Structure 1
């Protein structure tokens, strides 16, 4: 066990190099996907008590005269009110898992981690173009920069590996949180972390990214399974005899996560890496578009058609 720290460092260094090499491709792919689904999407700006100007509208009889923008009204014979954006729902926190377990891929499919980053980047691109600010918990403060994808990529590069569960942080009650990972940690731990974040009052979406083999369990014969984080191994003589029990436990695990989020109006969806990222992005953006009124609807949300088991 004396060489365990060295192996950990070597594994982290390898992961960092692989992520650095893949990042330009992931950024381009995220922008391409965001561009392909942007047509027809509407922004999520809403009138409210924020600081940023949104639009002018006609003055309505009965409103306080103090609300009139006299400079704008002086341009013609009509009275106008200067409306500001609703800052309360103007921040979306996106957490893409950088856990070693996200490096897994079967066949010619891309690793789960790459798909998770593409989803996070593309969603951020759409949200910023719709007037939102996007941040990464503990890595990047909320920003509405036009270069949001590059800023997120740079932030991720400074933390190339991380825990399997999102960090505890304290978003405002009107914020939204999007968690993207495989969530194969112990069921109780996943549910507890979702509950801790949801108790802040923020709305949330949990996206479980999986490789198809993690659902089908296609293994047979003598197989050695190796833990992604600790390198622990488990050798199975007839792996096919484990399939039914594995799938039953996976279904129960997902149902527990879904129930943990539903208590607070959070949604839970499953996305497989053999499905187009645009499928998930469209449905996720539509769900988030409901904003603060989506509580009961999100609680009833089912996995995305074509992107879930």
Structure 2
């Protein structure tokens, strides 16, 4: 049975304070970091590089020696097994840059009894786990407006420290046009007006950067399972809305949400970005798998299809 409490006016006013408690990263980050590492570890054995020949250390394949090539490229051990000469090719390992942005505004503090975690916790776990997976695949990862790209194995700690030090999170990413051959991964609920989200995408993609929008939603936000009288509180301001018949209000709410979602999908499509929708009643690993595949399919990152499940 779904547990949804109808707030009275006094409780509705307390909503922003409750959301602020959910956004207190000081005590939550250690647990979030552990969870992110656990989820990333389930994917680690499925990671592989770009499978493209080039400079690097990792062995990829043998191929037949071509006359005219330097003789020192021949792998004599492999060639001794055959009547032909073979060359050992190494996998291309040129690092790619991925920029993350994780929404930590007040609306991300929302969590219903159906959710496995508040939206902000899920967004942080997903973002940090993705960073770990990408760095394992040879990529560089940075936080937009907070930290420069790095390929250190301590990337989760580095990003967590930058997030904890940021005392003024915004509900939209910074106006930071990214260069070509980089990718942005924006994770949040994106409840801001769709026009503002579209403007943010346009600014980031102005120089040709590719990107991915990850929409984190609570199941209650998707279904609006309220009945009777209800008071809806704005977690980012003092406004409240008293609804006389929540059941009748549901159809209008769902229509508005569908229109907003379609506008976000269109904003992504205009720039060739992808849109991933992740509900907080589902495991974080599902979104990580989807996102890793989409980044790999774009040819922009060294992480291949992640085959492990869990989380």
Q: Are 2:51 and 2:92, in contact at CA under 8 Å, matched by a contact in 1? A: no
> Of residues 237, 242, 245 in structure 2, which corresponds to 1:230?
237
1:62–1:23 distance in 2 versus 1, CA, 3 Å: same
Give 3-state SS (helix, strand or coil) of 1:152's partner: helix
Structure 1 window deviating more from structure 2 (139-148 vs 224-233): it is 224-233
Query: Where in structure 1 do 4 or more consecutive aligned residues deviate above 6 Å?
Result: 56-59, 75-84
Counterpart contact for 1:135–1:141, Cα < 8 Å: yes
Quick one: which of 201, 210, 219 aligns to 2:217? 210
Q: Which residue of 1 aligns with 2:98?
A: 92
Q: Judge conservation of contact 2:140–2:150 (CA < 8 Å) in 1.
A: yes
Gaps (5+ residues) in structure 2?
A: 1-12, 78-84, 302-311
Q: CA deviation at 1:182?
A: 0.1
- Alpha-carbon distance, 1:18 to partner: 2.4
**Structure 2 CA distance, aligned partners of 1:264 and 1:152?**
27
Following the alignment from structure 2 to structure 1, what is the Cα–Cα distance between the partners of residues 68 and 197?
51
| Aligned match of 1:148 | 155
Q: Which one is further off, 281-290 or 103-112?
A: 103-112
CA distance in 2, matches of 1:293, 1:94: 14
In structure 2, do the counterparts of structure 1 residues 229 and 218 end up closer, same or farther at CA, with 3 Å as the change threshold? same
Q: Number of aligned pairs?
A: 276
Residue equivalent to 1:135? 142
Alignment of 1:66-105 (within 5 A): 85-87=93-95, 90-105=96-111
- Are the equivalent residues in 1 in contact too, given 2:144–2:174 (CA < 8 A)? yes
Q: Distance in 1 between matches of 2:237 and 2:112?
A: 20
Match of 2:9 in 1: none
Pairing of 1:174-213 with structure 2 (within 5 A): 174-213=181-220
Match of 1:297 in 2: none
* 8 Å CA contact retained: 1:174, 1:292: no
CA RMSD in angstroms, aligned pairs only: 3.2
Per-residue CA deviations over 1:169-214 (Å, capped at 9, x if unaligned) read: 1322100110000001111111221122222211111000000000
The 8 Å contact of residues 45 and 130 in structure 1, kept in 2 or not, is answered as: no
Q: After superposition, where does 1:273-288 map in structure 2 within 5 Å?
A: 273-288=280-295
| CA deviation string 1:270-302 (max 9, x = no partner) | 1000001111111110111123489xxxxxxxx
